Structure 1
Amino acid sequence: MKDSYANCLIPFLTEHFSEIDVIDPRYYSDSIVRFTKEHAISDMLLLYNANTFFEDASVVRLGDEE
């Protein structure tokens, strides 16, 4: 889960993980919970500017069930 501030960090993570799924909830309208279940995601990293995290209404959807 990310906002645009994470774009510069993602390339550094590619050496350490075999697969990386990136979702920006501002532009992803499907269920994030469903996505994590369908892709068997067990760990999640939230990369956000603190102001964006607390002010962005799309972050609220992180806890939405299907």
Structure 2
Amino acid sequence: MNRLEYEFKNRAIALPYQEDFETWHISMLEDSRKPGLIVLEAINTKTNVAFSKSIVDGY
């Protein structure tokens, strides 16, 4: 997740973003209710364990 946050802040990836890595589905998108708030979420497709992180887009 830290790599994706770094790439987003340095404009290496665009939103909305999605990828699958092993058993994880990873997505990053702007919150439609709060412009400038980016939500990064990783969900394990086998265990349904989820992690999320909010990032304020300062650009």
- Per the normalisation by structure 2, the TM-score is 0.26
Which structure ranks higher in relative contact order (CA pairs < 8 Å, sequence separation ≥ 6)? Answer: 1
Q: Which is richer in helix? A: 1
